Structure 1
Amino acid sequence: MDTPILRHFSPHFYLNHTKTEKPVDVATHIHDCYELFYFISGDLTYYIEGQAYQLSPHDMILTNSKELHRIVFNSSHTYERKFIHFTSEYISAYQIDEYNMLSHIENRKLGHFNRIPASFVKNAGIDTLWENIEKASREQSLETPILIKSYFIQLLIKINNQIAQYNNKEELRKHDDKIIAILEYINKNLEEKITLDLLEQQFYVNKYYLCHIFKKSTGFTVIEYITYKRIMKASELLTSGYSALDASHSVGFHDYSAFYKAFKKITGVSPKQLKEH
């Protein structure tokens, strides 16, 4: 059961602090915004685009709007976390040509350098800035929105600078190079028919073993990963003007009904509703 500790909504910004006594796995999902996830307690593995992160208290996880992720709990220990969802619009007035606060969050290979270790969170004062944001949100005074945004801008700058300086040696890909190659192949060939037999032939690995190591390394089944990636790409095409039928064909769906069902299941809306939004 979730116990809300703090929630704060404003345009393009959402702050949440919650404790869960008996956590259940969080299914594969993606956000249409940026997420800063602050881990406090629990026993979990955070999977992002083929990378498995074992978290320690006060570690942070960063994800952008292109990265599939899911959470698997290794035990029923109490789970406490904080997160912020925000869009680029929230900080657009403070972006300048010479300095982009989102550059290191956005311009990464998918699944790379998502974790900021607790030591860096504390040494950079990121934890203090986050506490200031929470404190300001509780006060609900006239100056609250200004205070929250000012602290948040400082927090983003700290994160950006820390990622730039951090020589993520321990975060370099630790799993099989073959999985990395398969992930890259899938992302570059979404419009093609991708089957387990094809991957078996392409990468010289038994398809049953491939299924095993893919799920172990990424937290996703092969088919689940391909389907999510295709729906994500289709969403981009729809918002850029493609018809639903053309979008479905462009990402490798040759049966529109299968595309429609998968699209609605993953996004929660129909292709038509997304275009109209």
Structure 2
Amino acid sequence: MHDSYELLLFLGGCTDCYIEHHRYRLKRGDLLIINSQEIHRAVASEGTPYERIATHFYPELVRNYCTEQTDLLSCFEKRKNADRNLLSLTPKSLEHYLYLTDHLHTAVASASFGHDILASTYLLQLLVLANTCFYESTWIPENLMPQLSSQIMRYIDEHLTEDLSIQALADHLYMNRSHMSRKFREQAGCSIQEYIILKRISLAKTLLKQGKSVTDTCELSGFHDYSNFIRTFKKYAQVSPGHYRVTNMEA
């Protein structure tokens, strides 16, 4: 989980991508559009390499280039969370995308005059292409996430700020705790506890950006234990909640 937005183009291999309640089997030409609030991971089949091109950027760097007619962040922000993340590019769009990313990475790695301006222009063109494909797409990819894991995730999302425990989840689903935990890890690619923590960290970041105090954020995001909140937030965000609040608070 990171604060940047991400475009991830899949080029080859055998890989499943997990985004919140969704699990997708990727194929060449698939493009993932991921904002900073969406918990995601790509898991390649054991011993199978996979090829992709990941482009990360901070939305603040792009927002000033948006106009009333053209919102370059639209495909990241103007949709439901974990919805319509996956596009399948046409051969023509894939060729254009590869052209732009190749020139973008060359400009970023360069030290020649104007390299930063060139990098910005290629990134903006990439976002125009991604948004165009997003709004033209009518494809609905198959969600391979099993029902059990989806049920667990929905319960967690609905009770995130409460005193969640693995046993409470097991009781709610009338399941053996160990069996439930094992099946979730197999199906979702992470443990139940890790999913809970990632969702709470994501909520905490949103609250801190909105100007909530660290103490209030601890309670409102479901951590409740202040020391544990500070320690866990720093582990996942690499900075303390106080520092994150100061550097990311919305105007």
TM over 0.5: yes
Whole-Å Cα distance in 2 between the matches of residues 241 and 174 of structure 1? 38
Whole-Å Cα distance in 2 between the matches of residues 123 and 78 of structure 1? 21
Whole-Å Cα distance in 2 between the matches of residues 173 and 95 of structure 1? 32
Whole-Å Cα distance in 2 between the matches of residues 248 and 238 of structure 1? 10
Asked whether 1:238 is paired with 2:212, we answer no
* Equivalent residue number for residue 56 of structure 2: 85
* Post-superposition offset of 1:276: 4.0
* Post-superposition offset of 1:55: 2.6
* Post-superposition offset of 1:67: 1.1
Whole-Å Cα distance in 2 between the matches of residues 222 and 57 of structure 1? 30
* Equivalent residue number for residue 99 of structure 1: 70
Q: Which secondary structure state, in structure 1, belongs to the residue aligned with residue 212 of structure 2? A: coil
Q: Which secondary structure state, in structure 2, belongs to the residue aligned with residue 60 of structure 1? A: strand
Whole-Å Cα distance in 1 between the matches of residues 78 and 151 of structure 2? 19
* Equivalent residue number for residue 189 of structure 2: 219
Matches of residues 1-277 of structure 1 in structure 2 within 5 Å? 30-119=1-90, 122=93, 125-137=96-108, 140-169=111-140, 171-177=141-147, 179-277=149-247
Richer in strand (by share): 1
* Post-superposition offset of 1:45: 2.8
- Aligned letter for 2:209? T
- CA, structure 1 residues 209+104, in 2 after alignment: closer, same or farther (shift >3 Å)? farther
Deviates more, 1:116-125 or 1:265-274: 116-125
Whole-Å Cα distance in 2 between the matches of residues 58 and 32 of structure 1? 25
* Post-superposition offset of 1:68: 1.4
Whole-Å Cα distance in 2 between the matches of residues 162 and 58 of structure 1? 12
Q: Which secondary structure state, in structure 2, belongs to the residue aligned with residue 220 of structure 1? A: coil
Is contact 2:33–2:75 with CA below 8 Å preserved after alignment? no
Is contact 2:63–2:72 with CA below 8 Å preserved after alignment? no
* Post-superposition offset of 1:110: 3.3
C-alpha RMSD of the superposition:
2.8
Q: Which secondary structure state, in structure 2, belongs to the residue aligned with residue 45 of structure 1? A: strand
* Post-superposition offset of 1:100: 1.6
Aligned residue pairs total 247
Structure 1: gaps (5+ residues): 1-29
Percent of counterpart pairs with the same letter?
31
* Post-superposition offset of 1:155: 1.7
Whole-Å Cα distance in 1 between the matches of residues 126 and 230 of structure 2? 40
Deviates more, 1:120-129 or 1:251-260: 120-129
- TM-score with structure 1 setting the length: 0.76
- Aligned letter for 1:192? E
- TM-score with structure 2 setting the length: 0.82
